[in-house]
Amino acid sequence: MASTSTELQQKKCLPCEGGVDAMTPLEASDQLAQLEGWELIDEGKKIKKKWQVKNFMAGMEFFQKVAELAEQEQHHPDLHLVGYRNAKIELTTHAVGGLSENDFILAAKIDALPVKTG
């Protein structure tokens, strides 16, 4: 059963060294429905979200907050800033070769971070 965004924000990413199965496409779709603006990519092995930030520095400030959160959670996203205002974040769990609950926990926590859009 999928957790709500609020429930995900209360959880902590768990260390993942593999040995567990990645979420099925159905499980990932169900969980994704609880998050706003995220989408499945790479044949259901990743999720991504895009923001248009106010300016370059707003993007860097947002990514700094994401980096600090990722370190706390020990789960690290791919960060992209293109055209100085277009921020994109991608999440996957490399150890399982797809998505795990950790990706959705971090996505929900990223959604709670302030970001200057424009």
Query: Which tens digits make up the pLDDT trace of 34-56?
Result: 999 999 999 999 999 999 999 99
**Degrees (nearest 5) of the Cα angle 92, 98, 101?**
70
* Domain range summary for the chain, segments of one domain joined by +: 20-111
Confidence label for 72 from pLDDT (cuts 50, 70 and 90): very high
CB 39 within 8 A of CB 91: no
pLDDT at 18: 65
Q: Indicate the class that CATH gives domain 20-111.
A: alpha beta
CA dihedral 47→52→58→64, nearest 10 degrees, is 0
Return the percentage of the chain with pLDDT > 70, whole number: 98
CB 48 within 8 A of CB 38: yes
Higher pLDDT pick, 107 / 18: 107
